[in-house]
Structure 1
Amino acid sequence: MIETWRWFGPLDDIALPEIAQTGATGIVTALHDIPYGEIWPREAIAARKAMIEAAGLHWAVVESLPVHEDIKRGVGDLDRLFANYRQSLANLAAEGITTVCYNFMPLLDWTRTRLDAPLPTGGHALRFSQVEMAGFELHMLQRPGAEADYTPEVIAAAQAWADGADEGERQRLLTAIMSGLPGAYDRYDVAGLRAALAPWAGFTADDLRASFARFLAEVVPTAEEAGIGLCVHPDDPPRPLLGLPRIVSSEADIAAIMAMQDSHANGLTLCSGSLGANPANDVPAIAARFADRIHFAHLRNVAKEPDGSFQEAAHLEGDTDMVALVAALLDEDRRRAESGGRAIPFRPDHGHALLGDLGRKTHPGYPLIGRLRGLAELRGVIAGLGHRA
């Protein structure tokens, strides 16, 4: 398996020489400055690749080559958007970058309600509170029909939260939820989010699946020809959110997507945190079932709560059996080594903000020391399993 590290480009507060000191050799990044739906020019890809290689690293994975919202909704000039996506894939392959992560979540990417949940020993973690999310939907966004998505107990607790939340607390919650928006750095206020949600009214999970099937039909042949492994990232959280459908949340969802295009180019980003937030998911079993279609792995852990809340845990301390999961990935990695296939790139995903991370302006969930702890723990698991083998 290949140790990688997510880097958000030249604006990232964590510099490439710091990443080199972690021991990771691969960089996971994207051309974040290019608007969704536009072509990634080969020259821009080459320039970013050269920047990474100058630090003694290599560009291992694209995360992400974004899918335009019009593709997800099935509206607009789709022929142009599909052509641009195919050209971007070809340009990446021409520069030797052949693992491309993407997601198919409508409008929002990952969503949390708190970016700085305190830890008992100091530091902080990302957290998703079902009560705070309900408080946001019912009392701030005032989304029609939102009551149907929450239990009576959560609705009552959300009312209590709303009764006690001052303007600062409400703004903190909005900021946390908006921090998961993909792409550049635009953020919505409540009115702006209502407007952004409006075009999705009445859009169903079946509608989204139809859009996904068309997307794969349009781009997988190009990926096959270019030798690219496309790998969809699961939903985070793995459930409908803000009235928007989500269709990459369970083992059955993944099986359906893999069947849409039965091709090695149509693969999976195995995210143990996203899948692990769904109580129905057995993440090591999912890894074993879809092992040959896993092109990339995000390794992190979450601790779930009965009401649907969850918090980012230390990599070896959450609900997912990380040792069993890594063992499944190593089994596949050995199989690929014997058959001449590619090793699986993985990265320590998210991490607690610890020690010198506190106060540093890094992306939420992507501190230096917290992720370095996670990488060290995962490296130890891999070494131990390798010794046992």
Structure 2
Amino acid sequence: MGGMRLEPYRHVFALPGVLRLLAVALLARVPATAVGITLTLHVVGNLHRGYGAAGLVGAVSTIGMALGGPVLGRLVDRRGLRPMLLLTTAGSAVFWAVAPVLPYPVLLPVAFLGGALTLPVFSVIRQSLAALVPQQHRRAAYSIDSMSVELSFMAGPALAVVILTNTSAPATMWGVGVALTLAGIGLYAFNPPVHSAEEHAAAGAPAGRHRVLTPRLVLVLVAVAGATFVLAGTDVGIVAVLREANQLSWSGVVFIAWGAYSLVGGFVYGALPRPWSPLVLMTLLGLCTMPVGLAGEWHWLCLLIAPAGFLCAPVIASSSDTISRMVPASVRGEAMGWHGSALTTGTSLGAPAVGFVLDRYGASWGFALAGIVGVVVSLLAIVVVRHRSGGATPPGGPADPAPAAIAVAAPAAAPAVAQ
């Protein structure tokens, strides 16, 4: 880890409001990470439907979140944070209050609406970090944020399962609803800034939609979706490997190891002296994911998943940092909404696609598919970036500040991530 520095983290934590924001983020994200497993167990255990039916509820909810994210982000850009928090907190409260008593055919459309009005905790925190943290320290800030997400995913689903096994699915759903409502109220009371003082002073008329989805931003969003495709496929693949080996009871150990690797990787990435392109990180993530399917036992799985695990948090942190720099502050909320949509889209595509291959060809081919998709998407994006940068001069302005934001990282930086 030569060249790694801790000063960036000290600078971030010393900034006013950052530590409080990160603490609120960790607490608010725990119930958000429990949503998927809670809905799945409710449909399977309480409504007595199959996993396919549960997956359909998750899919329509995810589609709602993907479509609603940019709209909610634009609402923040135009009206401020609190009106959006009022809308989504009320929407989440109503959905989780009625969902446990709805029959399955009614639950499907309601889950779509509930997804569209889901409290966008992840996007709000990332937008607020961009307002609180100067650009030179955002990489460290988003690395901390990615590590916080990992901790939330370690805690949220596990807590949901514990509560459900000791009470009931409806009680767990109502508990998730109460926790999300409290998270919304807490964020409303905290009211973290979404623009810095300098951005407020320089603010003019909101930029049009065409200023948000620039070609470069679309490339980063595609890369983000590709990355979460890989991660969702890995999630399913781990379960498949352990089921084939009759070692499903070790799944908790493997998932904890995977999360721990990601935490370490995020910490190292934020402390490195030079940034890495999300496209390069995603290429490495795909390459490191391919051989994981060769594992036949849980201990080999823990070992083979380590290289890809180290790259999980850096990929998300790098994409968040890049997007925060690529758009003007006036449309940052919508851009972060698109970022959240890309994350959920990749996840919703990765699990069923890899699952299809797992069912027919085995675990090794499932991991191979996940890795290949990640590598192909990232390499295509790199080729497009190089082509556009080598041709006409990219358009100027705050929405497209520098081709270096998503350009390929210099070879000199390679040893740092490898260590």
Q: TM-score with structure 2 length normalisation?
A: 0.23
Higher relative contact order structure (alpha carbons within 8 Å, sequence separation ≥ 6): 2
- Of Structure 1 and Structure 2, the greater helix share is in 2
- Of Structure 1 and Structure 2, the greater strand share is in 1
